[in-house]
Amino acid sequence: MNAIEINFDGLIGPSHNYSGLSLGNLASANNAGEISRPKAAALQGLAKMRLMMSLGLTQGLLLPHLRPHVPTLHALGYRGAPEAMMAQVWAEDPALARNLCAASAMWTANAATISPSADTRDGRMHVSPANLVTNLHRALEAEFTTRQLHLLFADPRYFSVHAPLPMHAAFGDEGAANHGRFCDAHGAPGVELFVYGDNPGGRFPARQTLRASQAIARRHGVRQPVFVQQANRAIEAGAFHNDVVSVVNQTVLFAHEDAFEDKAATYTSIRAAFPALHVEEVPTSAVPMADAIRSYLFNSMLVTLPGSTTSAPRMALILPAETQETPSTKAYLDALAGSNGPIAACHVIDVRESMRNGGGPACLRLRVALTEAEVAALDPRFLLTPEKADALERWIEDSYPDEIAPDMLGDPLLHRQLLTALDRLQGVLGLPDLYGV
């Protein structure tokens, strides 16, 4: 069956700031307390979406979450106008205030795990929003993400949107950042790769549990799941999600040599289910793990270009600019460009504001394979057009702060600006009352 892949990018929210909330994310930690540029961040993300459309690919978006997170303020007993509540929280508990203002929902690779209809026993697409229980600022995202996904995938004939897994560390689930799909074509039955972590006693937590991955595959009714373990040495080096050290697209696994705990067993397991596997492995001798993480080489997007065929795939890497500024990754990519493999093109983009907070091009998107009938059943308000991109650009220019310094998170004027910006966004996209404030 014919199908296309749509990337749903997270629209970077106006509260984008550097609070360093994510243990194990080295970029987030290294830039904690710096001055962020929310307007530049959102425009960089929108430019990436425009690039995807220019390549002939269908592009979607998911919206920023309500920040500050007013429901949590109310649940904790605060009362009054949101900006007044946040001023009080900042005075009493700055760490809590920083968690309530995070714009981390922009990384929609963590929004959900999605199994296309070609892979499932009931022939519907299944969606599991991630619970993100490892970090408080991310756990706050599950409810609003679920609400958006119910709007986007509303037709039960084609879609089944599940509740997040139980909110407990035993079922820690961080979404598609730890999930990939091998297939001959987007509409063909696929083999779904679930990557889990197990890093007891390590400096940094393993965020995706095997129990969570197994539960998602089970309730989605995935016909051919494969479960493999991320390398502990990669987690300890700062690869907090598997998409920091590998990326899958159709027949290709683009991965660092040290991405998986047992590399040989991983490749054998995948090939047993998907014999057409092509591994593009980057050796440590060419790109040390520290360089791969610093540049986010593997957090690039690997996409199939229009006009590709199963026998002659044409893929492109969408790379962060940092890969050109790191000598080892630039040398590797220069050599890759001259090879005869399936990766035919590289496009370098500037998403520095996201990168400085710990997320590259792949973090910013949730990829979804859909048939023509399923595309027609989507809520079109979540699909991007050039005209909608123009309207969003005007909204960003008019509504976003230019900068957020750390101590501004206690400023009532900033919080009023953030809430006003989101209120205006509802009108731009025709989604009234989405935020409820």
Tell me the C-alpha distance between 287 and 19, whole Å.
Answer: 29
Q: Examine the residue annotation and report whether 363 is marked as an active-site residue of this protein.
A: yes
Other CB atoms within 10 Å distance of the CB of residue 176: 23
Longest dimension (CA), the chain: 63
160 SS3 class: strand
CB 175 within 8 A of CB 110: yes
Beta bridge partners of 315: 304, 343
Among residues 241, 322, 353, 415, which one is catalytic?
Answer: 241
Transcribe 348-372 into DSSP letters.
Answer: EE--HHHHHTT--TTTTEEEEEEEH
Instruction: Report yes or no: 363 and 109 within 8 Å, Cβ to Cβ.
Output: yes
Whether 101 is a known active-site residue: answer no
89 and 73 Cβ atoms separated by less than 8 Å = yes
- C-alpha 259/C-alpha 359 separation (Å) is 18
Residue with tokens 């001798």: 285
Q: Smallest Cα–Cα separation from 366: which of 67, 60, 147?
A: 60
Which one from 183, 353, 363, 374 is the annotated catalytic residue?
A: 363
Calculate the alpha carbon distances from 46 to 49, 182, 242, 366 in Å: 5, 28, 25, 15
**Catalytic residue from among 174, 261, 353, 374:** 174
- Binding residue positions: 19-28, 110, 137-138, 207, 243, 357
Is residue 183 among the annotated active site residues?
A: no
The span from the CA of 311 to the CA of 289, in Å, is 33
Annotated binding site for substrate: 19-28, 110, 137-138, 207, 243, 357
Residue 80's contacts (CB-CB under 8 Å, 6 or more residues apart) are: 88
Q: Residue with structure tokens 């979404």?
A: 175
- Alpha helix (H) ranges present in 55-183? 70-75, 82-92, 94-100, 136-139, 142-152
Positions marked catalytic: 174, 241, 363
